[in-house]
Structure 1
Amino acid sequence: MTTTRLIVWRHGNTDWNRDGRVQGQTDVPLNDLGRQQAVDAAELLVRLRPDALVASDLTRAADTAAALAALTGLPVRPDERLRERHFGLWQGLTMAEVAEQRPDEHARWKAGETVIGGDVETLDDLGKRVAEGLQSAADLVPAGGTVVVATHGAAARQGVGHLLGWAPEMLRTLRALQNCHWAELTFDGSRGWQLAAYNVGPFSERPVPPPV
């Protein structure tokens, strides 16, 4: 059975990741640590011999993908569907500030509710959007090929879960991907999409705040 491989790769560290600040779709660049993380991860991912490379058009994901492009010679195809969850009025705040200034919305977020308020994108909309981008990326390669997709933490988890058809309560059992770590999914005609590995990366980190 011919199996297609999809690697869903979270971007490297940013100053807002470091400070626990909500990024959402704010275009925050990688910091020095994030750029080194991308290089370290790319040195492993190149061994998978990817056939295509796709990234969110936000700088932190595109620049993460560029580290792998430099080793493979592949172009990075941008796809705005792979952007992070839009966090609306939360963007730019720390999570402590969100909890203080928007306590009802924060409580709904903590409870895993799909609709939060504050112009935050719903989990259903996020999952559908990112899963469409992931499927389009997989469709770029022939059966048996490998595609690497550089995206974001919340986007990766929700998109992967939607692609797998997981219920929301099951998806909440997955911890966040660490910066520059990835999930590996496989697809074949008889079994569909399956999760082969999760939170794989070249280094270990201390636990990080939820990906926002």
Structure 2
Amino acid sequence: MTTTRLIVWRHGNTDWNAGHRVQGQTDVPLNDLGRQQAVDAAELLVRLRPDVLVSSDLVRASDTAAALAALTGLSPSYDKRLRERYFGQWQGLTMAEVAEQRPDEHARWTAGADVIGGDVETLDDLGERVADGLQAAADLVPAGGTVVVATHGAAARSGVGHLLGWPREQLRSLRALQNCHWVELSHDGSRGWQLAAYNVGPFSERPVPPPV
């Protein structure tokens, strides 16, 4: 049976990641650590012989994808649907500042519920948007091919969950995806999408807060 492989790859570290600052769709670049993480991860991902490379158009994802493009010769395509969750008025704040300034919204976020207020994108909208982008990327390869998608932490988790048809409660059982780690999904005609591996990467990191 022919199986298609989809690799959903989180971008490398940024200064805002390091400072626990909410990025959302703010276009924050990789830092030196993030650029090295992208190179290290690309040296593993190239062994999967990807056929197609797709990225969020935000620079921290596109520069991560560029590290793999340099090894494969693939030209990435870019899809706005793969952007991080839009965090509205949270963007630019540290999580400590969100908790202090917007305690009711922060409490709902911590509980895994939709944030009411602050113009934060709903989880259903996020999951549907990113899953559409992931499916479109997978459709670019023939059956049996491999596609790598460079995206973002919260986007990856919600998009993968939506693609798999998981309820929100099940999705919360997954820990945060580390910088430059990835999810591997497989697809065939009889079983549809299946989770093959989660939080795979070239190095170990200390646990981090949920990516934003």
Checking the alignment, whether the CA contact within 8 Å between 1:13 and 1:33 is kept in structure 2 is: yes
Mapping 1:22-37, distance limit 5 Å: 22-37=22-37
Where in structure 2 are there 5+ consecutive unaligned residues? none
Post-superposition CA distance 1:139-169 (Å, at most 9, x none):
0000000000000000000000000000000
Taking structure 1 as the reference length, the TM-score comes to: 0.99
Identity %: 87
- Give the letter aligned to residue 189 of structure 1: G
Aligned to 1:76: 76
The correspondence of residues 136-151 of structure 1 with structure 2, limited to 5 A, is: 136-151=136-151
CA distance in 1, matches of 2:184, 2:117: 32
Name 2:176's counterpart in structure 1. Answer: 176
4+ runs deviating over 6 angstroms: none
Query: By how many angstroms is 1:209 displaced?
Result: 1.7
Q: Secondary structure at the match of 1:206?
A: coil
Distance 1:108 1:207 in 2: 22
What pairs with 1:1-212 in structure 2 (closer than 5 Å)?
Answer: 1-212=1-212
Aligned-residue offset at 1:195: 0.1
Residues 22 and 94 in structure 2, CA contact (< 8 A), matched pair in contact too: yes
Q: Report the alpha carbon displacement of residue 123 of structure 1 after superposing the two structures with TM.
A: 0.2
SS, match of residue 202 in structure 1: coil
TM-score, structure 2 normalization: 0.99
SS of equivalent to 1:38: helix
Q: Aligned partners of 1:155 and 1:165: how far apart in 2?
A: 15
CA apart distance, 1:32: 0.1
RMSD: 0.5
Post-superposition shift, 1:116? 3.2
Counting matched residue pairs gives: 212
Q: Distance in 2 between matches of 1:114 and 1:106?
A: 10
Measured at CA, do residues 115 and 103 of structure 1 come closer, stay the same or move farther in structure 2, by a change above 3 Å? closer
